[in-house]
């Protein structure tokens, strides 16, 4: 079976890799460099499993800049293009998704469109009415950055937003490529599937915000955050996971998904959803204030990335904290080896690690790595599970 994938970010490339084990998969993207890398079995994103599979596994996968080549004769076309949140319209920018849909419609081909991009609640219903089509459904993904293929190989669940034979077939395609055997599959209507995605990520953001606010309380009152978290997480109803304090939630999904869900709540009573969004802003302001209390001349930012083994720093919380410090006229330098320039936005990059340590009066690190442990006396972090 031929399957096309539009978009080769971590969602699209992980799905393409998964399905290419058992199907002909053609990936479409508008970035030539990414296309060339994929065709040379090199991953354009940092993901251990994707890198391994592209290099070492037998995959029926190729990539192209020509969407017609990709889409022609494809039984399923998976759309995984970016949908960034637009603060002006208070909604996801779904223009890239709609552009792919219009191209498919113009080709007049017999196919089923599966949206994997994160979309507002009600998007599929609106698209069906707007373009008078029925060959489209939504199937949310639940992937961690840097672990996208792993999470497709060992999925927590598969959800498809349609109750039909083609939905069953598509779910089985995902299941066939997985290593995990006992996978829960749930079929819903499209609007419910869209809500599942946004509510799931918002709950994760709630958990992050809760432990961050716990940590703020402990820090201000000079209490041992780790002891408190360890104690409450012994309750099996709470569980010992997703509980390491940070500078705030960030990354590809949580910031935009929480804002989109809050926008979907327009004219609907709520307290918790709006509090999750505002709590993240409050956390970042608190972190900035605690850094300032050290009276530093030069503040060193150790890594812009969200977590270890990641090359993503889009919407990372540290960037908002840097902006607060910049507005208060503090000198801020950055150590970020994934950047090959001398500056990033308004900030100087110092990628000589020893020089960076020497220049910094305070080193701000969301997560501690071995290479900076010799400067622990300078480090400001809320990472309570620092590796020994």
CA dihedral 100, 103, 104, 107 (to 10 degrees): -170
As given in the structure block, the two tokens for residue 9 are 């970010």
Residues 249 and 304 in one domain: yes
**Residues 129, 237 within the same domain:** no
Token duo for residue 3: 């399957």
In a domain? residue 36: yes
Does one domain contain both 292 and 148?
no
User: Do 140 and 246 fall within a single domain?
Assistant: no
Q: Which of 253, 299, 306, 372 is catalytic?
A: 253
β-pair type (76-79, 112-115): parallel
DSSP assignment of 234-303:
TSTTT-SSS----S---TTTHHHHHHHHHHHTTTS--SHHHHHHHHHHHHHHHHHHHHHTT--SEEEEE-
Q: What is the pLDDT of residue 378?
A: 94
User: In Å, how far are 94, 115, 135, 346 from 170, measured between CA atoms?
Assistant: 23, 12, 13, 46
Beta bridge partners of 379: 363
Give the domain CATH number at 229.
Answer: 3.40.50.720
Last residue of a domain, one of 138, 164, 188: 188
Q: Does 182 share its domain with 241? A: no
Q: Is residue 87 part of a domain?
A: yes
Tell me, what's the pLDDT at 308? 56
**Tokens 């089985």 belong to residue:** 172
- Say which DSSP state 16 is in: H
> Residue 208 falls within a domain, yes or no?
no
The answer to whether residue 253 is catalytic is yes
Are the C-beta atoms of 319 and 248 separated by less than 8 Å?
A: no
Q: Which residue has the tokens 């996968």?
A: 61
Pull the structure tokens for residue 182. 């006992």
Q: pTM score, two decimals?
A: 0.90
Is there a contact between 9 and 45 (Cβ–Cβ < 8 Å)? yes
Q: Residue 292: phi, psi to the nearest 5?
A: -60, -30
Say if CB 125 and CB 188 are below 8 A apart: no
| Tokens read off for 196 | 């599942």
Domain membership of residue 41 as a residue range: 2-188
Q: Are residues 182 and 232 in the same domain?
A: no
Query: Is 81:181 a contact under the CB 8 Å cutoff?
Result: no
Beta carbons within 10 angstroms of residue 298's beta carbon = 17
Whether residue 340 lies inside any domain: the answer is yes
Phi/psi of residue 302, nearest 5 degrees: -90, 100
Q: How many CB atoms lie within 10 A of CB 138?
A: 29
Query: 128 and 56, same structural domain?
Result: yes
With vertex at residue 93, the alpha carbon angle to CA 45 and CA 256, rounded to the nearest 5 degrees, is 65
Query: Over its length of 388 residues, how does the chain's per-residue pLDDT go in tens digits?
Result: 999 999 999 999 999 999 999 999 999 999 999 999 999 999 999 899 999 999 999 999 999 999 999 999 999 999 999 998 888 888 899 999 999 999 999 999 999 999 999 999 999 999 999 999 999 999 999 998 889 999 999 999 999 999 999 999 999 999 999 999 999 999 999 999 999 999 999 999 999 999 999 999 999 999 999 999 999 999 999 999 999 999 999 877 888 899 999 999 988 999 999 999 999 999 999 999 999 998 999 999 999 976 655 556 767 889 999 999 999 999 999 999 988 889 998 899 999 999 999 999 999 999 999 999 999 999 999 998 875 4
Asked if 81 and 147 sit in the same domain, the reply is yes
Q: By the 8 A CB rule, do 382 and 246 touch?
A: yes
Q: How many domains are there within the chain?
A: 2
């Amino acid at each position: 079976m031929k399957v096309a994938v539009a978009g080769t970010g971590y969602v699209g490339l992980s799905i393409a890799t998964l399905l290419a084990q058992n199907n002909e998969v053609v990936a479409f993207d508008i970035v030539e460099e990414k296309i060339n890398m994929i065709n040379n079995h090199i991953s354009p994103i940092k993901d251990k499993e994707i890198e391994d599979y592209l290099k070492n596994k037998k995959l029926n996968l190729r990539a192209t800049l020509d969407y017609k080549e990709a889409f022609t004769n494809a039984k399923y076309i998976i759309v995984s293009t970016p949908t960034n949140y637009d603060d002006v319209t208070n909604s996801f920018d779904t223009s890239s998704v709609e552009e792919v849909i219009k191209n498919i419609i113009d080709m007049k081909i017999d196919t089923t469109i599966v949206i994997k991009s994160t979309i507002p609640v009600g998007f599929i219903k609106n698209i069906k009415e707007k373009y008078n089509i029925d060959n489209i459904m939504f199937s949310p993904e639940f992937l961690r950055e840097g672990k996208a293929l792993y999470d497709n190989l060992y999925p927590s669940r598969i959800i498809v937003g349609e109750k039909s034979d083609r939905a069953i077939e598509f779910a089985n395609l995902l299941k066939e490529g997985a290593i995990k055997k006992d996978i829960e599959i749930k079929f819903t209507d499209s609007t419910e599937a869209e809500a599942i995605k946004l509510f799931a990520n918002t709950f994760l953001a709630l958990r992050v915000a809760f432990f961050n606010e716990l940590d703020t309380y402990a820090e201000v009152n000079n209490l041992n955050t780790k002891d408190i978290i360890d104690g409450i997480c012994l309750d099996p109803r709470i569980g010992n996971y997703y509980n390491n304090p940070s500078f705030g939630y960030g990354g590809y999904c949580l910031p935009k998904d929480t804002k989109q869900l809050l926008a979907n709540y327009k004219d609907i009573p709520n307290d918790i959803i709006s509090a999750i969004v505002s709590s993240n802003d409050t956390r970042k302001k608190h972190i900035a204030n605690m850094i300032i209390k050290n009276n530093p001349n030069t503040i060193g930012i150790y890594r812009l990335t969200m977590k270890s083994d990641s090359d993503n720093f889009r919407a990372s919380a540290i960037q908002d904290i840097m902006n607060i410090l910049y507005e208060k006229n503090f000198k801020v330098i950055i150590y970020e080896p994934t950047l090959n320039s001398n500056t990033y936005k308004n900030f100087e990059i110092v990628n000589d690690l020893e020089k960076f340590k020497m220049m910094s009066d305070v080193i701000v690190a969301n997560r501690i790595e071995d290479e900076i442990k010799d400067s622990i006396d300078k480090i400001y972090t809320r990472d309570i599970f620092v590796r020994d």
